[in-house]
Structure 1
Amino acid sequence: MARVVNEAAHAARRNAILDAAQRAIATKGYEQMAIADLLGELGISSGAFYHYFDSKPALLAALVERMGSAVEAQMLPIVHDPELGAIEKFQRFFATADRWKLAHRDLVLAYTRVWYADDNAIVRHKLHSTRIRRLVPWLEEMILQGVQEGVFQTSYPDQAARLIISLLEDLGYACAELLLSEDCSLADLPCLERIAAATSDAMERVLRAPANSLWLATREDLAQWLPPSPNREEQEV
C-alpha cells in the first residue's frame, strides 16, 4: 500500500513540475524559462527538481512525451472504431489533431519556436523519431482498412504511412517559416491555405484516394494561427 501511495505522490510531483514548465513556456518561451522560477513557484529544492529531470532539455522532452500521450488518448478511439470507414477515420484523425492544437495554440507556437531554432536539430530529430514510433502503426492500420474497402490503393501501407508523416513534417517546416516570420499577418492566409491544400493533395496521391477526400484544414481554422492585421487607424499612426 505504501508503495502505491509513494508512486502516486511521485507522479503528482512530476506532473506539477511539468504543468509549471508548460505554463512558463506558453507565457515566457522556452529560452526565457528558468529552472529557478519553477522552483520558486512550486516551493521545491533544486535537488527535488533534478530527481525528476536531469536537465532543461530533459524537461522539454518529457513535456513532448506527455503531449503525445494526451493526443494518443483522443486518436486511438478513432483508429480502432469498427463503425467508421477508412476515409472518415482519416478525416476525424486530422480534425481531432487540429482541434487539440488550436486549443493549445499559444503553447504550440511557443514549442514551434524551440523546434525550428537553428541550434535544435537534435530536438527535431527526436521529435521525428517519436512521431514515427507513435503514428506509423495508427496510419498503417487505417491505410490497410482503406485498401480492403477499395478507397486506397497501395501495396506498401507501412511505407505509405511514413511518406504521409514526411509530408506532415514538411508542412510543419513550411508553416513554421511563415508563422515565425516578423511580418506574419492575416494577409498570409492564402499562402497558408495553399500549403495545407498541397499537403492534402499529396496525401491523396500517395494513397490514390478520391480527390478532396482526406484532411483539408478549413480557412477559419487556419486563420486562427495568424495574428490579426493592424486596422487602418493603427497603420496611419
Structure 2
Amino acid sequence: MARTVKPEEFAAKRGEILDAAQRLVLTKGYEQMSIQDILDYVRISSGAFHHYFDSRRALLDALIERIQQESEKPLLPIIHDPQLNAIEKLQGFFDTLDRLRSARKADVVKLVRVWYNDDNAIVRQKVDDAVLAQRAPLLTKIVRQGIQEGIFTISHPDKAGEVILSLLQGMGNTHARLLLSLEHEANEQRNVEEIVSTHAAYMEAIERVLGAPPNSLHRTDAAAVKVWIEAIRENSDHA
C-alpha cells in the first residue's frame, strides 16, 4: 500500500532536495553533481528521490523555476505602482536587483566563483533563458508606459525587454570577470575605473535603445565597486 504524504510534508521535503541541489551546483557544478550526491546530502533513498523528481533533468527544471519565482516577487510591486513614471520604474527595477545582490554579497561572490565554470554551462544557460523569459515582459510593460508618457521613443517596443536584458547580462558578465581578476591584478584602481566606465557605457546604451533622456539612469561609482571588492577579498580570506 502506497504511503500517503501530506501536501505540506511533500512541499517541505521537495524544498529540502532543491536546497541541496542548489548548494551542490554552487560547490561542484551541475555537470559533476549526481543524483547520488543529492541522496547523500539529504539522506534519502533513490526511491524517495524519484517520488519528488522523475530525473536529474526534472530537478534542474524545478530549481530554475524556483529561482524565477523568487526573483520575480520583489519586482512586481514596482511594475504595478501607479505612482511611478517609466523612468522611476526602470531605475527601481535595476535598484531592486542591486539590493537583492547586496543583501547576499557573500553568497553572490561564491556563486560568481563557480558560475562561469564549464561544469555550470548548462544550468547557466538555462537560468539566463529563464530570466529572459520572465523579466522581458516586465521590462516591455515599463517601456510601453514610457512611450505613452512621451519619455521613450523606440521603434520596436515588443523587443525592448529582450534587448535591455541582453545588455544587462553582458554587463553582468563583464563586471564578474573584472571583479574576479582583482585577485590576480595588482592595479586595483584601474579595474575599479574600468568597472565604473563599463556600467556607464551599458546604461548609456540602454538609454539610447529607449530614446530616453541622457543620464536618466543611475551610474555606479567607485565607492559602490569597492564594497564588492571587499566582499571578494573577505571570501578569499575564508576560502
Same-fold call, TM cutoff 0.5: yes
Distance change >3 Å, CA 189–CA 12, structure 1 → 2:
same
Select which of 225, 229, 232 maps to 1:226: 229
Residue in 2 that maps onto 1:164:
164
Note the residue ranges of structure 2 that are not aligned, 5 or more in a row.
Answer: 234-239
Matched letter for residue 151 of structure 1: I
Bigger shift: residues 45-54 or 35-44: 35-44
Residue 35 of structure 1, CA deviation? 5.5
Residue 128 of structure 1, CA deviation? 2.8
Residue in 2 that maps onto 1:183:
184
Residue in 2 that maps onto 1:83:
83
Normalized against structure 1, the TM-score is what? 0.79
Normalized against structure 2, the TM-score is what? 0.79
Contact 2:29 / 2:119 at 8 angstroms: preserved in 1? no
Tell me whether 1:212 sits opposite 2:215 in the alignment.
yes
Residue in 2 that maps onto 1:150:
150
Matched letter for residue 152 of structure 1: F
Matched letter for residue 184 of structure 2: D
Select which of 173, 188, 199 maps to 1:196: 199
Residue in 1 that maps onto 2:93:
93
Contact 2:152 / 2:210 at 8 angstroms: preserved in 1? yes
Distance 1:88 1:216 in 2: 14
Q: How many residues align?
A: 226
Residue 202 of structure 1, CA deviation? 0.6
Aligned-pair Cα RMSD in Å: 3.0
Distance change >3 Å, CA 227–CA 15, structure 1 → 2:
same
Residue 161 of structure 1, CA deviation? 1.7
Distance 1:112 1:57 in 2: 23
* Partner SS state of residue 153, structure 2: coil
Contact 2:200 / 2:219 at 8 angstroms: preserved in 1? yes
Residue 80 of structure 1, CA deviation? 1.1
Bigger shift: residues 98-107 or 129-138: 98-107
Tell me whether 1:66 sits opposite 2:66 in the alignment.
yes
Taking only the aligned residue pairs, the percentage that are identical comes to 45
